[in-house]
Amino acid sequence: MYKRFHVKGTTSQDVVGIQTAEKAVSLNSMDCFVLVAPTAVYCWQGNGATDAEKESGVKIAELLKVYDYKGEAFCAVVFDFEKRSSSILSACELFTLSPFKIL
């Protein structure tokens, strides 16, 4: 079971998480995305994501962890690949779930 949510908005009052197709090609570095995978929940934070989007993305990931896994899943924040070294999860790796390292 995979689910992905696009987290976007400009302030904490208008940030929303909308379920979207699980395709890496539709990632947007200006927003955050939450991926619910079979054993974990990831919050991917784009380079241009606002602080409100980052905070909301983490909150959505935590809520989905409780809802989908009764709190028993691994939950991690993943930073935009362009902003980090090559040892960090890239956008494509996030959606193919290759082995990766989290800071």
Strand spans (E) along 1-103: 3-8, 16-20, 32-36, 40-45, 74-79
- Is 81 within the bounds of a domain? yes
CA separation for the pair 97, 11 (Å, rounded): 31
CA separation for the pair 17, 100 (Å, rounded): 25
Tens of pLDDT, residues 33-48: 998 888 888 888 888 9
pLDDT of 72 reads: 76
* pTM score: 0.72
Measuring CA to CA, which residue among 8, 49, 33 is closest to residue 94?
A: 33
Domain count, the chain: 1
- Is 102 within the bounds of a domain? no
- Is 103 within the bounds of a domain? no
Output the domain CATH number for residue 76. 3.40.20.10
pLDDT band (50, 70, 90) for residue 65: confident
- Is 101 within the bounds of a domain? no
The domain of 70 spans 3-96
